[in-house]
Amino acid sequence: MRVVGIESSCDETGVAIYDTERGLLAHRLYSQVKLHADYGGVVPELASRDHVRKTLSLLDQALADAELTRTDIDAVAYTMGPGLVGALLVGSCIGRSLAFGLGVPALGVHHMEGHLLAPMLEDDAPEFPFIALLVSGGHTQLVEVRGIGSYQLLGESIDDAAGEAFDKTAKLMGLEYPGGPRLAALAAEGRAGQYRFPRPMTDRPGLDFSFSGLKTFAANTIADSDKSQQALADIAFAFQEAVIDTLVIKARRAIEQTGLKRLVVAGGVSANIALREQLTEFMQRVGGKVYFPRPEFCTDNGAMIAFAGAQRLVAGERQDLAVITKPRWPLAELSALDRGLASGA
């Protein structure tokens, strides 16, 4: 089955084609970074309009890359939620209409399930069961994964997600949008031990996260500094160190609590080099293994939606003609699949 995946939940338009026999055939991604840079963040209406402009052209480019035409499409998967409602409507309308016009099945996909399964696109894919640490601009979650759709939420952020904290702190430092990657780059110039940030909610039991206080702590630290480039780099280092330490501590607790030895890390923040290094070192130390998607599949992309959609489409799931979006959609609402992965070579 050749499945087109359409991702439009926020500020990136992604289209990909996944073949359940041959694997990922093509993927295209358009980022709206330049569009939103002047505003210092995503403007939902502008994001929606840009998805309208870009989605079909990206589809044609992906089909050309795969040496296919629209008549070769067997099914369409699109992001139904969570995300920005206007952006989701664009992808859902295009995806459902495309499937109707071609006479093929369609399916709305959970955005975070796409991230969770993204490492399955790699040659060294994890086997079930595993712990998933999902870290993005909108979500920070620890999930016990027993199979596709068999998810138990172990902990999540009660306020800002890790990626959101990165972006907000970067903005406080005057860094350009998107702030998270720029803060990480600045942290690489920082010196250890110059500042000490708290590790929120690590002094009590549990697997929930809280990052909003770190933003306030950063704001006060920046205000009290001389705001030189070196001072900001040192603050960025301490902030990033605190976030990463917190994520590692909570991941360790989840591993100890479940006894599982496989850790999947996905979402935009999973591209952070320092986070990858520390989680890799930790899992090696406990005799386990950590799995990441390639950097291009850490951020939002169509490949993860095509792959996740293919798993459920092969199992017989379908969407009716109604266009539905779910801006808020808990992972726990997804149904579990009884079958194994439909993975291409």
* Domain parsing of the chain, residue ranges: 2-117+297-333, 128-292
CATH number of the 2-117+297-333 domain: 3.30.420.40
- Asked if residue 137 belongs to a known ligand binding site, the reply is yes
- Asked if residue 139 belongs to a known ligand binding site, the reply is no
DSSP 310-323: HHHHHTT----SS-
- Asked if residue 36 belongs to a known ligand binding site, the reply is no
Q: What's the rounded Cα separation, in Å, for the pair 62 and 126? A: 27
Element (H, E) at 306: helix 302-314
- Asked if residue 42 belongs to a known ligand binding site, the reply is no
- Asked if residue 134 belongs to a known ligand binding site, the reply is yes
Reading the block at residue 17, the tokens are: 């084609």
Q: What's the rounded Cα separation, in Å, for the pair 326 and 67? A: 33
- Asked if residue 51 belongs to a known ligand binding site, the reply is no
Task: Tell me whether domains 2-117+297-333 and 128-292 share a fold.
Answer: yes
**Contact at 8 Å (CB) between 268 and 134?**
no
- Asked if residue 300 belongs to a known ligand binding site, the reply is yes
pLDDT tens-place string over residues 294-336: 999 999 999 999 999 999 999 999 999 999 999 999 999 999 9
- Asked if residue 155 belongs to a known ligand binding site, the reply is no
User: Given pLDDT bands bounded at 50, 70 and 90, which one contains residue 340?
Assistant: confident
Alpha carbon 111 to chain centroid distance?
A: 8
pLDDT tens-place string over residues 147-197: 999 999 999 999 999 999 999 999 999 999 999 999 999 999 999 999 999
- Asked if residue 35 belongs to a known ligand binding site, the reply is no
pTM: 0.95
- Asked if residue 259 belongs to a known ligand binding site, the reply is no
- Asked if residue 111 belongs to a known ligand binding site, the reply is yes
Domain 128-292, what architecture?
A: 2-Layer Sandwich (3.30)
71: left (phi over 0), alpha (psi -120 to 50) or beta: alpha
